[in-house]
Structure 1
């Protein structure tokens, strides 16, 4: 049996699920798109091509191989976008949480059966129906769990609002010994530069004590300030609205020293190197058109 273990975002990675871009299906219609960024590229006729996205994900898989990480891939479903493994499930400590996501994505969860079959069934948690939660909003960080949410009365009118207040309470009950801190995120169905789809679109811890952060992604200034105080201003790389749109905060840590990043993120990658990180640069700009990047495509199972 596999012993799951995730208590933070950066400890050395041993096993991970990486999504797949194979049989990704036809270009969605505007009505079928889940987020404003995809809509933009559908309208422009530059929605990413399957072969380009497969190539990008192969480059990601090659980096994992280089560092000796065990990589699982989902079973390929016909005409189904299975790139964003982080949406369907996430691990905290030794438990795998089955995300209650958009109902038509349920079969994506079933497609990771190769992993589910080697986990103790008692460690696979399906939250109650009223709990809406996606892995992109959930960040275990030692004694904290950071969660992105949206609690406005108009929650239901935002397809971009993915994690609700019931989810925050549910995680709090599951982990009574941890500080569960929630953050109200800015949502827009129409403007991708004003939409923090998930918490990892405007914040991510890296290394041992640093973070990438975008102030405008947060609706409540005190909540943003909490992170600034927690990590310390000198340890934070603050990104602009345009950099958030390009997904600068959605890099992925293989260890406290190694960060996988998009090769065009020059300002960030230079800063990371100045801080002593090894930066593994890969092309991921086509996948970015769907408002998801490196962290979204992964679902870590074991960090040591």
Structure 2
């Protein structure tokens, strides 16, 4: 049995599900894209090639091996995008919570049965149907669970709105001893620079007490200010609109000291090193074209 344990984003990682880029399904039609950035690249003829994405994901697998992390991969579904394992489920404490994702993506969940079959069934949670949630919006942070959401009455008009208020309430009920704090995110179906697809596209805690943050990702300024005060301005690396678009907040922590980051994130990586982090740089620009990066393609199962 897998002894699941996740209480935050940065404790030493022991086991993880890493997505897979093999048999990715080629270039999608515009109407089949889930986010504005993918649409942009389909129209421009720059949508990522499978062989390039495989190389990028294997570079991450190599870093995990270097740090002795147990890596699980999904079973390959022919011609199907299975890169973003964070979307399909997430772990809080010892609970494995199935995400209610876009219906087209049900098969992705079944493809990680090699993991699910090792979990005590009592710890597998399926939220009620009206709860929409994806792992990119959910961040356990010790006593807190931070959740990105969109509560506008036009929720259903946004394919980019992935987590609703019902899910926030359900998670509070599941973890009554935690403080669940939700943040309204800016959504756009058309403009990737004005769209925070998930909370981890504009915010991520790192180390023991630091964070990466992008102000314009938040719809409500006071909620952004709450995070700024919670971590302290001197502990926050504020990213620009261009850096958010390139997914600078979507790095991934192996521990409080070690972060996997994209090799082109020069300003961020310099700041991280200056603040005592070990930065493991990998190429990930092709995968980023689908509006997801390192955190999106990893689902932690066990941290110390």
What secondary structure, in the 3-state scheme, does the structure 1 residue paired with 2:285 have?
Answer: coil
Q: Which runs of 4+ in 1 moved over 3 A?
A: none
Tell me which residue corresponds to 2:90: 90
Tell me which residue corresponds to 2:170: 170
Tell me which residue corresponds to 1:71: 71
Query: Does residue 51 in structure 1 map to residue 51 in structure 2?
Result: yes
Tell me which residue corresponds to 1:3: 3
Query: Does residue 192 in structure 1 map to residue 198 in structure 2?
Result: no
Tell me which residue corresponds to 1:144: 144
What secondary structure, in the 3-state scheme, does the structure 2 residue paired with 1:108 have?
Answer: helix
* Counterparts of 1:112 and 1:30, CA distance in 2: 27
* Counterparts of 2:268 and 2:126, CA distance in 1: 37
Tell me which residue corresponds to 1:132: 132
TM-superposed deviation, 1:123: 0.5
* Counterparts of 2:101 and 2:9, CA distance in 1: 22
What secondary structure, in the 3-state scheme, does the structure 2 residue paired with 1:193 have?
Answer: helix
State TM-score, norm by structure 2: 1.00
User: How many residue pairs align between the two structures?
Assistant: 304
Structure 2: runs of 5 or more not aligned = none
Structural mapping, 1:226-241, within 5 Å? 226-241=226-241
Structural mapping, 1:1-304, within 5 Å? 1-304=1-304
* Counterparts of 2:30 and 2:113, CA distance in 1: 31
1:49-88 residue CA offsets vs partner (Å, 9 max, x unmatched): 0000000000000000000000000000011100000000
TM-superposed deviation, 1:26: 2.1
Alpha carbons 2:26, 2:49 under 8 Å: kept? no
State TM-score, norm by structure 1: 1.00
* Counterparts of 1:89 and 1:78, CA distance in 2: 21
* Counterparts of 1:116 and 1:255, CA distance in 2: 24
Structure 1: runs of 5 or more not aligned = none
* Counterparts of 2:301 and 2:25, CA distance in 1: 27
Alpha carbons 2:259, 2:278 under 8 Å: kept? yes
* Counterparts of 2:26 and 2:44, CA distance in 1: 16
* Counterparts of 1:7 and 1:222, CA distance in 2: 26
* Counterparts of 1:123 and 1:103, CA distance in 2: 23
* Counterparts of 2:156 and 2:196, CA distance in 1: 16
TM-superposed deviation, 1:97: 0.4
* Counterparts of 1:130 and 1:79, CA distance in 2: 30
* Counterparts of 1:164 and 1:79, CA distance in 2: 30
Q: CA RMSD in A?
A: 0.3
TM-superposed deviation, 1:164: 0.2
Alpha carbons 2:35, 2:290 under 8 Å: kept? yes
* Counterparts of 2:32 and 2:280, CA distance in 1: 34
